[in-house]
Copies of this chain bind each other. A is one copy, B any other.
């Protein structure tokens, strides 16, 4: 219950949603949301309403990432403002529905916080994905979560990039936050991954409850990995992949990749080395990113400063 002099007043966060099944084969979020839909006691907190919600039910039913197009890239202003039509891809229609229910994106009526639950086949551990380096509410929340789960750890990935940032499901909230937990294969539920995700959501809700209850959170710093670039697999002239992630890089998410380090291994046994300045790769060998032509995402480390925050009682 620290008090401080330079806390910024922010609106209370009363409307909270937890999205699962934005990708229908990422089972931790699907299972948690279904569980909490049946019995919400675990996610109830004083002073807020928390709505668990399956965003892509048809993909969940088929246990596939999506039906027509990636829902987690579908929340563009173009899609959201398109005239309603049965000819639109399923996920675009669904994005419009979700935007009506939890947005509209950018409006005062939008939900305050949306937790969006994802799994990855990459060895990323627990990762919180931020969409803005200037959302001090979220910066304070992730700082709170990191402290609460210690000595377990949690990486912070900042997707704030002119090209690589994408229009997520959660982006309709005032304060969007993604959870990405792995490694877990698509279509599989692993108890360790499931429990890690569950604990993080619970701490996130605790933070909101404390914030709404009047607690001031003093200024702090948070260390993030900022997405800087994406790396494709080596390909032949026909566009076919000719190499795999090198065994020395596989599963080494968040570890430094230095110039001269092995990066790919071609099918005929050659090693391709990394050239360039030191980066911290993540989403290494994520199943869903083959079609996005991403072997991994490169990040740079950075320390962000969060203002102190407190709830304004208007």
Evaluate contact between A247 and B121: CB separation under 8 angstroms. no
State which residues 199-244 of A face B: CB under 8 Å: 240, 244
A190 on the B face (CB < 8 A) = yes
A88 on the B face (CB < 8 A) = no
Question: CB-CB contacts of A245-264 with B at 8 A, as 1s and 0s?
Answer: 11100100000000000000
Distance in Å: Cβ of A76 to nearest Cβ of chain B: 25
Give the CA-CA distance A189 to B287 in the complex, in Å: 8
Nearest opposing residue in chain B for A32, CB measure = B267
A164 on the B face (CB < 8 A) = no
Give the CA-CA distance A287 to B191 in the complex, in Å: 14
For A186, give its contact among B187, B240, B245 (CB under 8 Å): B187
Distance in Å: Cβ of A156 to nearest Cβ of chain B: 24
Evaluate contact between A31 and B267: CB separation under 8 angstroms. yes
A149 on the B face (CB < 8 A) = no
State which residues 264-302 of A face B: CB under 8 Å: 265, 267, 285-288, 290-291
Distance in Å: Cβ of A30 to nearest Cβ of chain B: 11
A50 on the B face (CB < 8 A) = no
A79 on the B face (CB < 8 A) = no
Nearest opposing residue in chain B for A184, CB measure = B185
Distance in Å: Cβ of A69 to nearest Cβ of chain B: 14
Residues of A within 8 A of B (CB): 31, 34-35, 63-64, 121, 183-192, 194, 240, 244-247, 250, 265, 267, 285-288, 290-291
3 cross-chain pairs, A with B, having the tightest CB-CB distances, nearest first: A185-B185, A187-B287, A121-B185
